């Protein structure tokens, strides 16, 4: 099975028809961009075959801790 997926990836990555090749490569690019991984043939192949090891990026936005003793603002009348 892994051999078949690898052959399928190679066939689509090296497709003769430019439109099909670009469509597949753009799909791989969008998937790898979401994971913040450099777009290379090796990374795309690993993603396609389910072998890509990605470290989770640090959270850019941290949720501020709430002070438990803090009360809500007074209600308006």
- Enumerate the domain spans of the chain: 2-48
CB neighbourhood size of 9 (10 A):
19
Burial track 18-53 (b if 16+ CB lie within 10 A, e otherwise) = eeeeeebbeebeebbeeeebeeeeebbbbbbeeebe
Q: Are 47 and 31 in contact (CB under 8 A)?
A: yes
Higher pLDDT, 74 or 77: 74
26 pLDDT more than 90: yes
Virtual torsion, Cα 17, 30, 36, 11, nearest 10 deg: -30
**0.75 surpassed by pTM:** no
Could you tell me if 10 and 42 are in contact, meaning their C-beta atoms sit under 8 angstroms apart?
Answer: no
Question: Taking 90 as the threshold, does the pLDDT of residue 11 lie above it?
Answer: yes
């Amino acid at each position: 099975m892994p051999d078949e997926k690898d052959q399928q990836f190679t066939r689509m990555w090296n497709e003769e028809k430019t439109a099909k090749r670009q469509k597949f490569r753009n799909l791989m690019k969008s998937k790898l961009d979401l994971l913040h991984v450099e777009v290379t043939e090796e990374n795309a192949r690993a993603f396609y075959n389910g072998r890509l090891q990605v470290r989770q990026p640090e959270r850019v936005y941290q949720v501020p801790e709430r002070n438990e003793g803090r009360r809500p603002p007074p209600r308006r009348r």
